[in-house]
Amino acid sequence: MLPLAVFAAEPQSIDKSDYSLFNPVPGDQLRPLSSQAYDGVSDARTLDAGHVQVEGEFINYFFNSTTPYHYSSDGFLWEPRISVGLLNNVDFYVRPSYEIRSYDYKGGSSEFGRITTGVKINLWGNDGGTTALAVKPYLSIPTEGGDVLGGGDVALLVRLPHGFYVKFDSEFYATENNSRTLFAGFDNSMSINKSLYSKADAYWYLDSTVTTDSAQQWYGYTGFGLNYNFTSNLQIFAGIGFGLTSSAYDYNPRFGFAWRF
């Protein structure tokens, strides 16, 4: 009976339907600061209407000890994300990317990658309840050659007793290989988060990716880390990921931030 009692005691959702981009949610009614940057798993909660959030990594380094031809041996990746709360349950985001990569067969490369843009639409549970669900369609736009691609996520948040919550994210998308051949991709990820005290959370994540490209193996990753909230609107995180398959990276240290205003 304890879990039921905990859920029953949870505060009821606040009605924020009248707020919009031009009528921001007051600061004392904002949802807890959340981010996708630290674990790569979409959160089913949207950014509050009328607010902006910037998140990303200062350090995001990948190392591969054994790589197929044409694949990088190590690299740095920056994917800052800028989100704007449009309505109580809808936000819009833009995420450019910049990559520095090294290769065993040549020196390396540094270039802008794709720009991803889309919306996240929360269907329920934004401000309370045991679960929250959202959908997130998006487009991936090349900065040089290639096609405009796209995909979509379904994100689920489950709130548990004792400061735990779990995020699930299933993503279908179109991708292309080095020969510009199009394939379908499917990514499943999850993270378990635990509040340590009012300002800090610990997290562990697991990710699996497969494509219809028969030349590529499935990718598996896991990792863990910590979040720390300096204020209700400023968070930093640090963590490290590890590859679970031969085609995945060996390790991936990450350090970054989320800032809402």
Q: Can you give the residue ranges of every domain in the chain? A: 21-260
**Cα(119)–Cα(85) distance, rounded to whole angstroms?**
10
Identify the pLDDT of residue 105. Answer: 57
Beta strand 52-63 with 81-87 is antiparallel
Question: Would you say residue 213 has pLDDT above 70?
Answer: yes
Q: Report the percent of the chain where pLDDT is more than 70.
A: 88
**Considering the entire predicted model, what is its pTM?**
0.87
Least reliable range by pLDDT among 85-94, 164-173, 211-220: 211-220
CATH fold of the domain at 21-260: Porin (2.40.160)
Residue 9 pLDDT level (bands cut at 50, 70, 90): very low
Report the C-alpha gap between 61 and 239 in whole angstroms. Answer: 11
> Looking at this protein, which amino acid is placed at residue 247?
S
Q: What is the per-residue pLDDT for 163?
A: 92
Whether the predicted pLDDT of 138 surpasses 50: yes
